[in-house]
A and B are shown apart, each in its own frame.
Chain A
Amino acid sequence: MKTVTRSFLRYTFRRRGLTVLQFLGIACGVAATVGIVLSARSALTGFSKAIEFLKGKSTHSIERPAGPMDEGILVRLMGDPAVEAFSPVIERSLRLSTAAGAPGFARGSTSGVLARGYKPRASSEPKARPLTGETARILGIDPFLDKNVRPELAYAVTTDKADENLSDRLTFLTKNNAVLVEAQLAHRLGVSVGAAIHTVKGDFEVVGVFPNPSGEPLLLMDIDHAQRLFGLDGRIDRVDLVLNDEPGFLSRWENGYHVQTSLKRRETLAHMLRAFRLNLEALSLLALFVGIFLIYNTAMFAVVSRKKDAGILRSLGAYRSEIVGAFLTEILLLGSFGGLAGGVLGYFLSRFLAGEVGGTISNLYFFLQPAPPSWSLWIVVAGTLLGGIASLLGSLWPLLELVRTDPVRALSGRTADRRSGADARRLATIGAGMILLSLLVLFLSSTQVYAGFAGAFGFLIGASLLTGLALVLVSPPLKRTMARLGGLPGKAAAGNIHLNLGRTAVAVAAFMVALSMSIGLSTMIGSFRRSVERWLDNQISGDLYISSMDELDVPVSFYDELRAVKGIEGVDPYRKTLTSFQGTSAYVSAVDAGVLQRFANFAFLKGGRENWDRVKTGEVIISESFARRFGVKAGDTVTLDAVHGPAKLRVAAVFYDYTSEHGILMMDRAHYLRLFEDPTITSLGIFVDPGNPKRGEILAEVGRRAGDYDLPVFSRDELHANALKVFDSAFAVTTSMRVLAIIVAFFGIAGAILTLFIERQREFGIYRALGFSTLQVGGITLMEGVAMGLLSFIMSLGVGTAMAVILIQVINLRSFNWTVFFYPTGMPYLLAAATALLAGLGGSLYPIFKAWRTYPQMQIREE
C-alpha cells in the first residue's frame, strides 16, 4: 500500500471515536433506506405474487357491482360458449388463534374481547388465551371446478399417494371443518395433517398441506363449508373464468355484472395502494436524503481533518493524485463498510417494517400478509454500493476543495475561512430561489402528488442552503447572548461557530433537516389524528356497535331481531363494499338515513341534518375524497353500475371522511337493496335514548343477543379506540422512520461537532496557554455543541412547521383527497428540542474528555 494511503488509514484508526461515529452514521443512513425500500418492495411483490398465484389460469373474473352474488349464475356460465372453465370463489380473511376452542379477537380489535363479558354461557367461558394475531386468507372453492383454473391447488387437494388421494379429497368435501393449509403457515403453526388450527370461527382440521410460492398464509376450504362459515348460503363472492371469446362474453354479461380481466383486477388492486405506496417511497427517499446528507457531512469532515496532512504530504513530494487516491480510499472504505453494516441492519429493520406495512395495508385496503423479505447477498452489495456511492457524492465537493488547495495554504491547517461569509450569502440566494421555486411548484400543480413531493423536498433543500446565512446573521446576537450567559468562554464558543461556518453550517443544516422532518411528520400525524378523533366524535355516535371481524358479516336476521327489541330507538345497518366507478375502485355504502338523521351528527362540508331528507328520497351523499377524486360536487349526478344496469344518482351533499382515500358514496339502505340486491350488513349501530332509565338493561340485552350470534359488541369508546389504533398502526412506519431520522441526525451532529473539535485540538492548548482553565475550555466546547444543536432546533421551528403545513395541505390532500385540519401541539417541538440538546451535549462530551485528559502543552504542539 502506498505510504500516503497508509498514513491516511492510520489516522482513521487513531481517531477511533470519530471513525465509529462516522461509521454508525453511514450505517444508519443506509439501514433506513434499505429497510424501508426492502419492506415496501416485499409488501408489493408479496401482493403481486399472491394475486398471481391466486389467479391461476383464469383470464377474467365476474362479480356483482357490490357484494356477493347468487350462485345461480354458475348454471348460466356453464352454458356460455365463451367459458372454457369457471370456478366459484369465496374469498375472505380469518384470524387465527393459538389455543383450542378459544375464539377471540386480536390485533386492532382487542377490545372486542370485552364484549364477551355479555355472553351468557358462563360454563364455556373462554379463558383469556394468547392469540397469534396472524390473519390468513381463506379461499372457499369447489375443488373439481377449481382444478381447471388453479391446477396447483387442485393438486394440493389430491396428494400423490393413491390411497390418500381419494380419501383426502372426500374428507375435504365431507368434513365440515376440513382445510388445506399453505406449507409455510403450517410450519409456523406447527401443524401437520390431522392437527387442528384454531380460528376465531372455531377449529379446523388440517387434511392436507400445499406449497404456496407467494408465501402468503392461505387456507383452502370446500365451498359448502365456506358458505356456512361465512353465512353465505347460496351466494359466492365471484367466479374466476377462463374465457376464449372475451367480446362475445362481455356482450352477454354487460349488465349487472362486473367482468374484469385478471390483469385489470390486479391493476385495480394495485391502484388502491398507489397513494400508500407513493408515501412509502417518499419516506424512503427521505431516509436516503438524510442518509446522504450525513455521509456528505462525514466525508467533508474527513477531508477537512486531512487538509493539513495533505499539505504536509504534498510538501514532502506526494503527488496530488496520491493524496486524492488516499482520500478516496479512506472515504470509500468507510462508506463501504458503513454501507455493508447498514445493509445488514436495514435487512433486519425491513423484517420488522414489512409486517407493519402488511398490517397497515390489511387495515386500510385489503388483506395482505407479505412474507418477510428473504435474505440475499444483494442486500449487502446494495448497502455497500449505497454507502460507497453516497460517500463519493458527499466527498465530491470537499475533494475539489482539497485538490484546489495549494500546499502552503493547506500546511497552515485549518484557518478561519474569510470567504465563507460570501459563500453563505451565495448559497442562501440559491436556497431562497429554490424555496421560491418549490412554493411555486406546490401552488401551481394543484393535483399532482409527485409535484407535491418534489416541492416538499425542494423546500427542504432550499431551507438547508439558508443555514449558512442564518448562522452569519445570528452570529452577533448569539455572541452577545452567549457572552452574557457564559462570559468569555461563551463569546469564544459563539465566535467559533461563526469562524468555522463552512463546517458548522453543514452540520447545523443536516440536523435542522432531520429535526424539521421530525416536527413536520409529527405535527402532520398529530393533526391528522386529532382530525380523525373529532370526526369520530361526530360520525360514530351510536351507543353500541356490533360488527363482525375479519370480513364476516352481521346476519340480517340479527338486525331484524334487534329492531324488535323494545327501547332501542334506532338500528343503523351499515354496509360498505368496494365497487367500480369510472373504471376504477370506490366504495359504496348503505345506511339507514332516517336513523342517522335522528341520532348521528354527520360532519357535512355544507349543511346539516336536512341533507338526510334528500338521501331518503334516493339521492346519495359522497365523501370528500370521492368529491375530490372524481371532481364531483353536491348537485351533480353520478352514474353507478348496479345490478339492473347503470343508475343515475344525484349527489345531495359531501361529508368529511377519513376511512378511504378512494371515496365513499353513501345511500339509504332501501335504495342500496334495490340497486345492488345485496342484503349484507357489515356492522350495526345501536341507538338508545340517553334519558331512558332502562338504558343499561337494554344495552346489556343487545350484548347478550349478540353473544348468541358470536358477534362482538363495541361501545362507542371502544370503537373510537379501535379506529385510533388502526390509525396509529397505519402510521407506525412513518413513526419508525421519524425516529430513525432523528437517530441518524444525532450521529450526524455528534460526529460533526466531534470532528470540529478534534480538528481544533490545538486551540484547546492555546486557550489553556492564554489562561483559560480546563473547565472553561470544556465550557467553550460544551456551549459550542449545545449552541449548534439549539441553532438547528430554532431553524427547524420555522422549517418544520412549514413542512407540516406542506404535508397537510399538499401531500395529504393530494394523496388521500381529504382535509386534515391543522392542530399543532408542543410535543413534536419539545421532542426536537430535547434531541437537539442531547446531540449537542453528546457531541461535545468526548472532546471535553480529551481536553480534560490531555496535557495542554501537548495540544499546542502540532500533531
Chain B
Amino acid sequence: MAVFFLAGAAVLLSQNGDWLRVVQPRVWKFPEDHGSHPGFKTEWWYFTGNLSDQVGAKFGYELTFFRQGVRFAPMNAENPWSVRDLYLGHFTVTDVSRGSFRAEDILSRSGPGLAGARMGQMDVWLLDWSARMREGEILLSAHKNGLEISLRLKPRKPVVLHGSNGLSQKGAAEGVASYYASFTDLETSGTLTPSKNGPAVTVAGTSWFDHEFSSDILAKDQIGWDWFSLHLSDGRDLMIYFMRRADGSVEASSSGTLIERSGAAHHLARDEIALDILDRWRSPKSGGNYPSRWRIAISAAGIDLVITPLLADQELVAAGLPDLVYWEGAVAGEGSSGGRPITAEGYVELTGYAGNLKSILK
C-alpha cells in the first residue's frame, strides 16, 4: 500500500482527465483480472509472507510491484521510452533469527521491455523481478545486491473481494476508493538468499497477495494508514486498514475483511474493529514514532489478539525517493479466535509516520 505516496504525487503531476474512476461495482473475471488495468492510474501487486526454513528459522518477505500512471497518453506513443507508467518495486527480507532487515527497490519506466504488466493475466515484471501466474500458481522472483528470492505460491483459498464486492472505499468522497482483491492464504515454497554471498535457504510458509487498482486513492485530509494482514492458526485470515486523518481521527470508511477457513469472506465495518496501540517504537533513522504493538478485538468474530513485530526496525526508505518512508514488517501474535486460543502471523504496514509525505502529496 506504500504506493499511495507516489500515487498522491502523481495525481498532481499527470493529466487526470482520462483515467477511469472507481465509482461503481465491478464485474470481476479471474484469472484475467489478476492482470493489468491500465485504464486506472495506480495499480499494485503486493506480496508479503511469513516463511521458515528447515530448522525453523523465521523469515518475512515483501515483494511489491507498483504501476503508477504518469500520462494517460504518452507524449510520443511510438517510442517505448516515452513515459506512460512508472514501475516501482520494493523487495524486503526480514531475517528474524539474525535480527536483520534488508530492503531493495527498483524504479523504472516501461521502456523497451524493461518493465510492464500484461492485461488478462498476472504477468508483471520490473527488470529481472517478476510475478507470474502459471496454471493457478504464482511464481515470484527477485534479486538485487545479493538479496534473492524465488518462490512458488499456491492459493489455498479462492480470491477474496474486499469492501463491497471488491470496491474498497478509502474516503468519504465518491471515487476515493479502489478495486481490491486478494489471495489471503497462499501456500508458499522456494528459496531465499537473505544475505550477500550467503547460501540460499529452502523456505516454506504462507503468503498474502493484494491486488488493488484505482485512480484516486487518498483523500486530502488523510495522512496515512495502518494496514494489517494476519493468518490465524485456526485457518482464518484477517485484513484491516485504518485510514488516519490529520486531526488524529480514523476515517469512518476504514474497514476490514475476515476470511473463514472455508474461504468465505465477511466485510468488517470500522465500528466492528477495536484497535488499541500498546507500545511505540521510534526510528533512529527517520525519527518516526511508529506503533509497535497492538490489541485487535473483533467481538462479533470472537477475535482478541495482541500483535507484536518480529523485529522492531522494519522501516523502509526507498533509495529512489528518500522522502518515501514507511514501516512494513513481519509480525506475530497470540490470543483467541472463536473462543479458542490461537497464534497469528502476518504483515503490518504503517505509513505517514515519517518522511515528508505532506510535501509529496501537496
Contacts and interface: CB of A to CB of B under 8 A. Distances in A.
Interface stretch (B31-39, B103-111, B132-140, B280-288): B103-111
B321 interface: yes
B81 A163 contact: no
B76 interface: yes
Interface SS of chain A: helix
Interface stretch (B165-173, B267-275, B296-304, B354-362): B354-362
A78 B114 CA distance: 8
Given A78-B127, A144-B108, A166-B321, A224 B113 contact: no
A247 interface: no
A151 to B, nearest CB: 9
Interface residues of A, number: 28
B360 A166 contact: yes
Interface in A160-205: 161-163, 165-167, 170, 173-174, 176
A224 B13 CA distance: 19
B323 to A, nearest CB: 4
A158 B82 CA distance: 19
Find the residue from B12, B109, B321 having the highest chain A CB count within 10 A: B109
Given A74-B112, A228-B76, A165 B323 contact: yes
Contact of A227 (B6, B79, B321, B356): B79
Range of interface residues on chain B?
20 to 34
A422 interface: no
Interface string A669-702: 0000000000000000000000000000000000
A71 B323 contact: no
Contacts of B106: 144
B70 A174 contact: yes
B112 A75 contact: yes
Nearest to A154: B320
Contact of B114 (A75, A161, A227, A228): A75
Nearest to B5: A166
A74 B114 contact: yes
A224 B114 CA distance: 14
Contacts of B13: 166-167, 170
Contacts, number: 82
B78 interface: yes
Interface string B5-23: 0100110110000000000
B83 interface: yes
B83 A173 contact: yes
A147 interface: yes
B81 A165 contact: no
A223 B111 CA distance: 10
A227 B360 contact: no
A173 B82 CA distance: 8
Contact of B81 (A78, A162, A166, A227): A227
B71 A228 contact: no
B241 to A, nearest CB: 24
Interface in A69-87: 71-72, 74-75, 78-79
A174 B112 contact: no
A572 interface: no
A233 interface: yes
Given A162-B359, A163-B362, A166-B360, A145 B114 contact: yes
B113 A174 contact: no
B323 A162 contact: yes
Contacts of B119: none
Interface in B111-130: 111-114, 127-128
A533 interface: no
A142 interface: yes
Interface in B50-75: 70-71, 75
Contacts of B319: 147
A641 interface: no
A222 interface: yes
Contacts of B109: 142, 144, 173
Contacts of A233: 78-79
Find the residue from A78, A167, A176 having the highest chain B CB count within 10 A: A78
Interface SS of chain B: loop
A71 B113 CA distance: 10
A176 B320 contact: no
B81 A223 contact: yes
Contacts of B111: 74, 142
Contact of A174 (B83, B114, B359, B362): B83
A145 B87 CA distance: 12
A166 B114 CA distance: 21
Nearest to B112: A71
A224 B320 contact: no
B76 A163 contact: no
Find the residue from B10, B323, B356 having the highest chain A CB count within 10 A: B323
A234 B322 CA distance: 32
Contacts of B108: 142, 144-145
A72 B111 CA distance: 10
Contact of A142 (B9, B81, B362): B81
Contacts of A158: 320-322
A167 B70 CA distance: 11
Nearest to A160: B322
Nearest to A171: B13
Given A170-B13, A224-B83, A233-B78, A72 B71 contact: no
Interface in B126-155: 127-128
Nearest to A140: B81
A747 B112 CA distance: 67
A513 B32 CA distance: 88
A223 B359 CA distance: 28
A170 B9 CA distance: 11
B107 A162 contact: no
Find the residue from A223, A224, A228, A234 having the highest chain B CB count within 10 A: A224
A549 B278 CA distance: 70
Find the residue from A144, A161, A170 having the highest chain B CB count within 10 A: A144
Contacts of B76: 176, 224, 228
A230 to B, nearest CB: 13
26 contacts: A72-B113, A75-B114, A78-B113, A79-B128, A144-B86, A144-B108, A145-B114, A147-B319, A158-B321, A158-B322, A161-B359, A162-B323, A162-B359, A163-B360, A165-B321, A166-B10, A166-B360, A170-B13, A173-B70, A174-B75, A223-B81, A224-B75, A224-B76, A224-B81, A227-B79, A228-B76
Interface of B: 6, 9-10, 12-13, 70-71, 75-76, 78-79, 81-83, 86, 106-109, 111-114, 127-128, 319-323, 356, 359-360, 362
Given A142-B109, A158-B321, A174-B71, 4 more contacts: A158-B320, A162-B360, A165-B323, A165-B360
